[in-house]
C-alpha cells in the first residue's frame, strides 16, 4: 500500500525547526564504515528511507548496523562479504558507494547496477575510471566485478562527480602510497566524509578544494562522528517559509554551507537573517525577482560546488512561480530534473519548458490545489511547497519518494502549523 500527502494550502508556517543530518553525507559515511573492522558510532543520522536501505545493505554484507537512538547508530563490520544485494541496491543510487570500501577492504567487490531517482543519466564512468587507475581490474556485465590490490596514483576525474570522488577517496584510504584526486567534487557532504575518515585514522588533505591528497594507511580504527546538517533541507524550509508568508527559524545549520544558496534565493526575492547556527525567514516577504543589469532577465543555474546546488533547482523553480518578474532556470546537471514542472503548470504556474535543461518562469501566479504524484525526492518537495502556498487541497502521491530524503517531513511541518496529513492511497 502506497501513501500520499494531503495538504490544505494557505496557512503560514511559524515556529522553529531543526535541520536534519545531511543525507548525502550519511550514505557515504555509512559505506565508509566498511573500511574498518572496529565499531563506529554515528550521530545526527537522518531517519529516512535511503539511510534505512543503506543500513540494510550493510547488514546484508555481514556487518552489524543498528539504531541506538532516534538519530544515532552503531556499525560494526568485523567481517564482511563482497557481494552486494541486488534487490536492495535497486532502490538506492548510493548502493554503488559500497564498491570503493569493499575493494579496499577485501580486494574484491561485486556490485549490481544502482537504482535511485530518475532525473537523467547518472554516469558511473568516473567511479570505474578511478578504480582502474588505482589498479583494479573490472568486468562489467550484469554486475560490476572489481578485483585487485590497489596502489596510490594520480586520478583526474573527467567530471567532478560527487559519488565518484567519494568512492575514489574511500578506495585510496587503504591503498599504499599517495593518491592525488584532481577535479574532485568539494560539496559539504564530500568534506564531511573526509572528516569522518580522518577521525578513523585516514590521512587526507585538501578538503574543500578540487585537489585531494590521500596517503594510504595500513588500517583504520573505530570512532565516532556527527553527521553535518542538511543544507538542501535548510534551503527547502527557507523556500516554504517565504512562500507561505510565515516566520520560521531553522536551527542546527552550518552557515558556511549556505553561501552558494542564499544569493540565488535573494535573487528570487527572499530575505533571511543568518547567524552562525541558525537562519530566520521573517514574515512579510515581498518576493520580487532581481533583474540583471540593464533590466535583462536573470538566470538561475546550478553546477558543482561551490555553485548553486542542483538538488535545490526544483525548489528555486517553485519559489520563482510566486515572485514578481521573470527568470530563466538553467539545470545543467540532469536532463530530466525539470520534467516535473507540468505538475506546477497544472496548479496554475506560468512556466515555459524550453528544453530538458531550461525553463522560463514568470510570476506571481495563483496556485490551486491539485492531485499529483512525486517523481523524485526534490521534485516531491517542490510540490509540497507549492501545495502549502496554493489555494485549496492538494494530494501528492508516492510519498515514499519524499521520505527518501526528508525525515518525518509531515510531522515536522505540522509542528510549524501546516495542514498536512499522511494517508494510505
* Per-residue model confidence (pLDDT) at position 269: 97
Give the closest residue to 120 by CA, choosing from 291, 335, 411. 335
Q: Is domain 3-20+229-424 in CATH 3.65.10.10, yes or no?
A: yes
The grid coordinates of residue 423 equal 494517508
3-state DSSP assignment of residue 278: strand
Rounded to whole angstroms, the Cα distance separating 349 from 75 reads: 46
Distance CA 96, CA 38 (A): 22
**87 contacts: CB under 8 Å, gap ≥ 6:** none
Burial (Cβ within 10 Å: 0-12, 13-18, ≥19) of residue 42: buried
Measured between alpha carbons, how far is 70 from 84 in angstroms, rounded to an integer? 27
Instruction: Catalogue the active-site residues.
Output: 117
- Tell me the whole-structure pTM to 2 decimals: 0.94
What is the model's pLDDT at position 143? 92
Closest by CA position to 319, among listed 420, 215, 242, 415: 242
Full pLDDT tens readout for the chain, 425 residues: 689 999 999 999 999 999 999 999 999 999 999 999 999 999 999 999 999 999 999 999 999 999 999 999 999 999 999 999 999 999 898 999 999 999 999 999 999 988 754 444 457 899 999 999 999 999 998 899 999 889 999 999 999 999 999 999 999 999 999 999 999 999 999 999 999 999 999 999 999 999 999 999 999 999 999 999 999 999 999 999 999 999 999 999 999 999 999 999 999 999 999 999 999 999 989 999 999 999 999 999 999 999 999 999 999 999 999 999 999 999 988 777 898 999 999 999 999 999 999 999 999 999 999 999 988 899 999 999 999 999 999 999 999 999 988 999 999 999 999 999 999 97
Please state, in angstroms and rounded to a whole number, the distance separating the CA atoms of residues 416 and 251. Answer: 13
Q: What pLDDT score does 64 carry?
A: 98
Give the closest residue to 286 by CA, choosing from 323, 252, 259.
Answer: 323
Q: Which CATH class is domain 23-226?
A: alpha beta
Alpha-carbon distance of 244 to 240, in angstroms, equals: 6
pLDDT, residue 335, reads 76
Which grid coordinates belong to 49? Answer: 528511507
Domain residues of the chain, as ranges?
Answer: 3-20+229-424, 23-226
Same fold, 3-20+229-424 and 23-226: yes
Name the 3-class secondary structure at 21. strand
309-339 b/e (C-beta count within 10 Å ≥ 16 → b): bbbbbbbbbbbbbbbebbbbbbbbbbebbbb
pLDDT the model gives residue 114: 87
Q: Could you tell me the three cell numbers for 266?
A: 535573494
- Set of cell numbers at residue 359: 525553463
Amino acid at each position: 500500500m502506497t501513501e500520499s500527502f494531503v495538504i490544505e494550502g494557505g496557512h503560514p508556517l511559524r515556529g522553529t525547526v531543526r535541520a536534519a543530518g545531511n543525507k548525502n553525507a550519511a550514505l557515504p559515511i555509512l559505506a565508509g564504515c566498511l573500511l574498518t573492522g572496529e565499531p563506529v558510532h554515528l550521530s545526527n543520522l537522518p531517519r529516512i528511507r535511503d539511510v534505512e536501505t543503506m543500513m540494510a545493505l550493510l547488514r546484508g554484507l555481514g556487518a552489524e548496523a543498528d539504531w541506538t537512538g532516534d538519530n544515532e547508530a552503531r556499525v560494526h563490520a568485523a567481517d564482511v562479504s563482497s557481494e552486494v544485494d541486488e534487490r536492495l541496491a535497486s532502490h538506492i543510487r548510493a548502493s554503488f558507494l559500497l564498491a570503493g570500501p569493499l575493494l579496499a577492504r577485501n580486494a574484491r567487490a561485486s556490485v549490481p547496477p544502482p537504482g535511485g531517482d530518475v532525473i537523467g543519466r547518472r554516469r558511473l564512468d568516473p567511479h570505474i575510471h578511478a578504480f582502474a587507475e588505482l589498479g583494479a581490474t573490472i568486468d562489467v556485465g550484469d554486475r560490476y566485478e572489481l578485483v585487485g590490490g590497489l596502489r596510490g596514483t594520480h586520478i583526474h576525474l573527467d567530471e567532478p562527480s560527487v559519488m565518484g570522488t567519494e568512492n575514489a577517496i574511500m578506495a585510496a584510504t587503504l591503498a599504499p602510497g599517495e593518491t592525488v584526486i584532481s577535479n574532485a567534487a568539494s560539496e559539504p557532504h564530500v568534506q564531511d566524509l573526509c572528516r569522518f575518515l580522518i577521525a578513523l585514522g585516514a590521512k587526507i588533505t585538501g578538503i574543500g578544494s578540487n585537489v585531494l591528497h590521500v596517503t594510504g594507511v595500513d588500517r583504520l580504527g573505530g570512532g565516532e562522528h556527527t553527521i553535518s546538517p542538511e543544507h538542501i533541507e535548510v534551503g527547502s524550509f527557507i523556500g516554504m517559509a517565504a512562500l507561505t508568508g510565515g516566520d520560521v527559524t531553522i536551527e542546527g545549520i552550518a552557515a558556511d554551507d549556505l553561501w552558494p544558496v542564499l544569493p540565488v534565493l535573494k535573487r528570487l526575492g527572499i530575505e533571511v537573517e543568518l547567524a552562525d547556527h541558525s537562519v530566520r525567514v521573517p514574515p512579510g516577504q515581498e518576493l520580487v525577482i532581481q533583474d540583471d543589469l540593464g533590466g535583462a532577465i536573470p538566470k538561475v543555474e546550478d553546477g558543482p560546488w561551490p555553485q548553486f546546488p542542483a538538488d535545490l533547482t526544483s525548489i528555486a523553480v517553485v519559489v520563482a512561480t510566486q515572485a514578481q518578474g521573470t527568470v530563466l532556470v538553467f539545470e545543467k546537471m540532469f536532463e530530466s530534473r525539470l520534467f516535473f514542472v507540468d505538475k506546477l503548470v497544472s496548479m496554475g504556474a506560468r512556466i515555459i519548458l524550453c528544453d530538458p535543461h531550461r525553463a522560463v518562469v514568470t510570476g506571481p501566479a495563483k496556485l490551486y490545489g491539485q492531485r499529483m504524484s512525486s517523481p523524485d525526492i526534490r521534485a516531491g518537495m517542490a510540490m509540497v511547497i507549492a501545495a502549502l502556498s496554493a489555494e485549496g487541497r492538494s494530494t501528492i502521491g508516492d510519498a515514499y519518494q519524499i521520505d527518501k530524503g526528508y525525515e518525518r517531513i509531515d510531522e515536522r511541518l505540522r509542528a510549524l502549523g501546516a495542514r498536512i496529513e499522511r494517508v494510505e492511497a
